[in-house]
Structure 1
Amino acid sequence: MRLSGSITALATPFTATGELDFDAWRGLLQAQRQAGTQAVVVAGSTGEAAALFNTEYDALLRAAVEELGGHLPVVAGTGLSNTTMTIEQTRRAAALGADAALVVTPPYVRPTQAGLVAHFRAVADDGELPVVLYNVPGRTGCDMLPETTAELAAHERIVGIKEARSEPERMQALLPLRGDGFAVLSGDDPTAVRAMLAGADGIVSVASNVVPAAFRRLADLARAGNEADAQALDARLHALYDFLGIEPNPIPVKALLARRGVGRGLRLPLTELSAAHAGLAERMAEEVAAIESEFAPADNAS
C-alpha cells in the first residue's frame, strides 16, 4: 500500500462522563470520508492512545474499519515503549482489520539509533501489517535520524515515515528515500505545504479533524505543484495552526470539535482548554467553519 494526500490523525470523542462517544466517533468518521480525506489514523497521539483501555482501542478500530473499510485506509497507532508489546499491539490491530500500523519511536526510553533499527525491523519482520515509521522527538525524547530511516526504508514491510520535525533540512534529507514502496509524509501542519511542494507524499494532520475538505484541497494543490494557490489557502489556515498549538495537542482541536457537538472532553492528565482561551476558541470555531464550507462537497455543505 502507499499512503498519500490528506490523512487525518483522528481525535477520540468522549462523553461528558469520560466514556467513549460512539455516535460522535461514527459521525467523525463519516464526515472525514465525505470530505475526501484519503486515510485516517486511529489511536495515535491525537487520539489519546495512552489513555485508552484495550477494549476501547478495539472498539474504536473495529468501528473505523466498519465505517471506512474498502473506501480509504485505516491506519492504527500501535507504537509502545517496548518492542514485544508493540508487536502484540500490531497483531491486535491486524486482527481488527487495520490496513497499516503507525509505529512511533519508543517513547521515554530513548533508544540508540541501532536500537531503533532493531525495534522497527522486529515489528516489520513479524509481518502482520505494513509499518509506517513515526518520528516526533518533541513527544518521545528520541530523534530518528535520516540515515536510520534510510536503513529501515529498505525493508519491504516498512512503507513510509511520518516526520514531525519542521526543519526544511530534515525533509530534504528524507525526500530522496521516496519510491514505489516508501512514502514520505509530513507530520507538521504549519510546514506541510512547504514539504509537499518539495515532493512529500502528503500530510498526517491534526487540523484536518476540523477542516477535512479544506485540507484535502490543500494537499491536492501542493502535490500538484500549484504553489500560489496552495500557499494562499495555507495562509488562511495559519491562525488555526497557531490555535492548535496554544495548549498541548489534542486539547485545542477537541475544544473546536466540542463546539460542533463532537465529544465533550479529555482524560486526565489532559484537561479542557483554559478558560482564558474560550473566546479565541469561539472565534476560531466560526472561522474554520466558514473556510470548510467553501470546500465541503455539495451534498455535505450544510
Structure 2
Amino acid sequence: MFTGSIPALVTPFKDGFFDEQSYRDLVEWQIAEGSSALVPCGTTGESATLSFAEHFGAVRVCVEQARGRVPVIAGAGSNDTQVAIQNIRAARDAGADAALMVPPYYNRPNQDGIVAHFRAIADAVALPIVLYNVPTRTVTDIQPATVIRLATEIASVVAIKDATGDITRVSAHRAGAGEDFCQLSGNDDLALAFNATGGRGCISVTANVAPRLCADFQAACAAGDFATARAIHDRLYPLHIALFSDASPGPVKYALSQVRPDFPAGLRLPMTPPSQASRATVDHALQLTGLSELSII
C-alpha cells in the first residue's frame, strides 16, 4: 500500500498560528518532487503542540491539497485508547487514507496491553493503521512477536514505521508477518540497510528538505540498483545527521527555510530554534548535499 519516500511533514507556523498557505505550498512541492505519500501531524509535525482542531484541520488541508495524487497517512496516536479512537475517527473524516499510530506512551502497557489498544482502535474505526514503533520517544516498544501478532490478527494493521534502529527486525517481521506487511524505515540514515533487508520505503525527515533526492534514492532501492542508492545515500548522509544536531524539528525547519526562503521556520514552545552550532552543521550539510543554492519551486 505504501512505498518510497514519504515525508513526515513539518507544520509551518506564522506568528504562532498554523500557516495554511505555506503548508499547501509544501505539499505541492513534495508531490512535484516525487514523494510517494505524505504524513501530516506526526512527531516532526509538532503534533504534541497542536490542538485537536489544529491537528485535524492540518490533516484536512493536506488531503485537500494532495487531491488523491498520493496517499495521506495522518498522525493520530495517543496513550489513551479512547482518545486514539477519537483521533483516528477524525483522521478518517478528514479524508486520510491511513493513520500512523504510536503505542501508548507514559502509561507503558505490557505487550498484551499494546495488542488490546490496537484491537480496540481497529474495532472502532475501519481505517488502515500504520504502526509507529519509536521507543526513544514512547519508551513502549512493540516487540517483533507483538508486531507479527498485530499484523496477522488485525486486518487493518497493514504497515509499520520502524524507528527502533534495529535492522534485524525487518527480517523478523517479514518472516512472521509475510511479504505483504509493509515495512517503512523511521530512520533516514538506516534506510539503505532497511530496504536491502526487505523494507519498502522510509517515513522521512530529510525528505522535507531534499524530496527529489530522497525519492530518487527510494526508486533506486526499489529497482534493486543499490550502487546508485548507495551513492545517493552517501550524498544525503551528512544531512541525515545534521537534521538531528539539535532537538527536532528545529534543524529541519531551519534547513527548509534555507532551501525555500519563503518557508517560515517558527516553532512552538517548548521547542526553540536550533543552536548556532546546529545551524552551522546544517549549512555545511546543505553545501555537501548540493542543496544550498536550490531555487524556490
> Per the shorter chain, which TM-score range?
over 0.9
Specify the alignment match of 1:68 in structure 2.
66
Q: Distance in 2 between matches of 1:254 and 1:160?
A: 27
Match of 2:254 in 1: 255
1:58, CA displacement in angstroms?
A: 2.5
Alignment of 1:130-141 (within 5 A): 130-141=128-139
Question: Is 1:184 matched up with 2:183?
Answer: yes
Secondary structure in structure 2 of the residue aligned to 1:7:
strand
TM, length-normalised to structure 1: 0.92
How far apart, CA to CA, are the structure 2 residues paired with 1:130 and 1:46?
21
Distance 1:165 1:152, change over 3 A: same
Report the secondary structure of 2:10's partner residue. Answer: coil
Partner amino acid, structure 1, of 2:81: T
Q: Is the contact made by 1:214 and 1:291 (CA closer than 8 Å) also made in structure 2?
A: no
Change (3 A) 1:173 1:56: same
Q: Give, in whole Å, the separation in 1 of the partners of 2:278 and 2:48.
A: 25
Please tell me whether the aligned partners of residues 11 and 23 of structure 2 are also in contact (alpha carbons under 8 angstroms). Answer: yes
Structure 2 contact 238–289 (Cα < 8 Å) conserved = no
Closer/same/farther in 2, CA of residues 7 and 232 from structure 1, 3 Å limit = same
Distance 2:179 2:237 in 1: 30
> Is contact 1:42-1:61 (8 Å) kept?
yes
Residue 296 of structure 1 corresponds to none
SS at match of 2:55: helix
Partners in 1 of 2:254 and 2:205 — Cα distance?
13
For structure 1, the residue ranges without an aligned partner over 5 or more in a row are 294-299
Structure 2 match to 1:142: 140
* 2:22 partner SS: helix
In the TM superposition, what whole-angstrom CA distance separates every residue of 1:48-78 from its partner, at most 9, and x where no partner exists?
0010012211221111111113101011111
After TM superposition, the structure 1 = structure 2 runs for residues 16-95 of structure 1, keeping only pairs within 5 Å, are 17-95=15-93
Distance in structure 1 (CA, Å) of the matches to 2:280 and 2:160: 37
Which SS does the other structure have where 1:39 is aligned? coil
> What is the CA-CA distance between 1:286 and the residue it aligns to?
4.1
Cα deviation code 1:114-149 (max 9, x no counterpart): 000000111111133111111000000111100000
Q: Which residue of 2 aligns with 1:297?
A: none
CA distance in structure 1 between the aligned counterparts of 2:124 and 2:179, rounded to whole angstroms: 23
Q: Which residue of 2 aligns with 1:5?
A: 4
Contact map agreement 1:199 1:223 (CA 8 A) in 2: no
3-state SS in 1 of match to 2:28: helix
- Could you say if the C-alpha distance between residues 219 and 136 of structure 1 is closer, same or farther in structure 2, counting changes exceeding 3 Å? same
Do the aligned residues in 2 keep the contact of 1:163 with 1:184 (CA within 8 Å)? yes
Deviation at 1:40, TM superposition (A): 0.6
User: Could you tell me how far 1:105 is from its partner in structure 2?
Assistant: 1.1
Runs of 5+ in structure 2 lacking a partner? none
CA RMSD of aligned residues (A): 1.8
Q: Which amino acid aligns with 1:24?
A: S
1:95-116 CA-to-partner distances (Å, cap 9, x unmatched) read: 1111100001112211100000
The one-letter code of the counterpart of 1:121 is R
Q: Does residue 252 of structure 2 align to residue 214 of structure 1?
A: no
The equivalences for 1:115-126 within 5 A come to 115-126=113-124
Question: What secondary structure sits across from 2:130 in the alignment?
Answer: strand
SS at match of 2:214: helix
The one-letter code of the counterpart of 1:98 is A
Q: Give 2:107's aligned residue.
A: 109
Distance 1:19 1:264 in 2: 12
* Count of residue pairs the alignment pairs up: 293
Kept in 1, the 8 Å contact 2:103–2:138? The answer is yes
CA shift at 1:172, angstroms? Answer: 2.1
Distance 1:301 1:43 in 2: 24
Separation of aligned partners in 2, 1:292 and 1:53: 36
Q: Distance in 1 between matches of 2:157 and 2:293?
A: 34
**TM-score, with structure 2 as normaliser:** 0.94
Question: In structure 1, what residue type is equivalent to 2:282?
Answer: A
Question: 2 CA distance for matches of 1:108 and 1:264?
Answer: 29
Tell me, in whole angstroms, the C-alpha distance in 2 between the residues paired with 1:301 and 1:21.
Answer: 18
Q: Is the 8 A contact 2:243 2:252 kept in 1?
A: yes
Give the partner amino acid of 1:137. Answer: P
Determine what percentage of the aligned residue pairs are the same residue: 40
After TM superposition, the structure 1 = structure 2 runs for residues 135-174 of structure 1, keeping only pairs within 5 Å, are 135-154=133-152, 155-174=154-173
Could you list the per-position Cα deviations for residues 244-282 of structure 1 after superposition, in whole angstroms to 9, with x for gaps in the alignment? Answer: 121122111011122223123111111101123333333
Deviations 1:14-63 (A, max 9, x none): 11x21111121111000011011110111100000010012211221111
Tell me the secondary structure at the aligned position of residue 290 of structure 1: coil
Query: Any conservation in 2 of the 1:197–1:223 contact (CA below 8 Å)?
Result: no
Cα distance, 1:229 vs structure 2: 1.1
After superposition, the C-alpha distances for 1:153-185 in whole angstroms (9 at most, x for unaligned) are: 0111111111101122222212222433x2111
